Chain A
Amino acid sequence: MKKKVLAALLTTAMVSSVLVGCGSQPASAPAGDDTAAEAPAADDTAAEAPAASGDVIKVGIINNDPNESGYRTANDKSMKEMFTAANGYEASFAYSLKNDEQISAAQKFIQDGVDYLLLSAADTAGWDSVLKDAQDAGIKVILFDRTIDAPDSLYEASIVSDMAKEGETAVTWLKGQNLEEYNIIHIQGVMGSAAQKGRSGALDAQVAAEANWNLVTQQTAEWNAEKAQQIVQSVIDAGTSFNVIYAENDDMAKGAVAALDKANISHGVGKDVIVMGYDCNKWALEELLAGNWNYDGQCNPFQASYIDDIIKKLEAGETLSEKVIIMDEKGFDATTITQEDVDTYGI
Chain B
Amino acid sequence: MKNKEKKSGIGGLMRGLVRKQIFIPIAALVILTIFNYIMDPTFFKITLSPNSLGYNVLSGSIITILDNGSELAILAIGMTLVTAASGGQDISVGATIAIAGSVILRILCGGQTSPDTLQAPVIVAFLVACVAGMLAGAFNGALVAYFRIQPMIATLILFTAGRSIGAWINNNTLPVVKDPSFAVYGGFIPGIAVPTPFLITVACIIIITLVLKFTTLGLYTQSVGINEESSRLNGLNPAFIKFLTFVILGLCVAVAALIKVSRISSINYSVIAKDIEMDAILAVALGGNKLSGGKFNMAASIIGAYVIQFLTTTLYALKVDANALPAYKAVVVIALVVLSAPSVTEKISALGKKMKPKAKEVA
A interface residues, Cβ below 8 angstroms from B: 4, 7-8, 10-11, 14-15, 18, 21-22, 25, 28-33, 65-70, 73, 188, 191, 217-220, 222-226, 229-231, 233-234, 236-239, 251, 254-255, 258, 260-264, 266, 281-283
Contacts and interface: CB of A to CB of B under 8 A. Distances in A.
A33 B187 CA distance: 35
B174 A225 contact: no
A225 B143 contact: no
Interface of B: 40, 42-43, 49-52, 57, 59-61, 64, 68, 113-114, 138-139, 142-143, 146-147, 161, 163-165, 167-168, 171-174, 176, 187-188, 239, 260, 263-264, 266, 268-272, 274, 312-313, 316-317, 319, 321-323, 325
Given A15-B143, A191-B322, A239-B42, A263 B51 contact: yes
Contacts of B323: 191, 220
Contacts of B322: 188, 191, 218-220
Given A11-B146, A237-B59, A21 B165 contact: yes
A69 B272 CA distance: 12
Contacts of A28: 168
Contacts of B325: 219-220
Given A224-B274, A226-B263, A237-B60, A66 B172 contact: yes
Q: At the interface, is chain B mostly helix, strand, loop or mixed?
A: mixed
A32 to B, nearest CB: 4
B61 A234 contact: yes
Nearest to B163: A67
From DSSP, what is the main secondary structure of chain A's interface residues?
A: helix
Given A225-B264, A230-B68, A238-B317, 17 more contacts: A11-B146, A25-B165, A29-B168, A32-B172, A65-B164, A70-B174, A73-B172, A191-B322, A191-B323, A224-B271, A230-B313, A231-B316, A254-B264, A254-B266, A255-B263, A258-B264, A282-B114
Nearest to A21: B165
B48 to A, nearest CB: 12
A281 B67 CA distance: 28
Contact of A251 (B43, B64, B268): B268
Contact of A25 (B60, B164, B272, B274): B164
Contacts of B264: 225-226, 229, 251, 254-255, 258
Contacts of A14: 138-139, 142
A234 B172 contact: no
8 contacts: A7-B239, A15-B139, A70-B268, A224-B272, A237-B59, A251-B266, A262-B52, A283-B174
A251 to B, nearest CB: 5
Contact of B263 (A229, A231, A236, A281): A229
Given A224-B268, A230-B313, A251-B268, A258 B172 contact: no
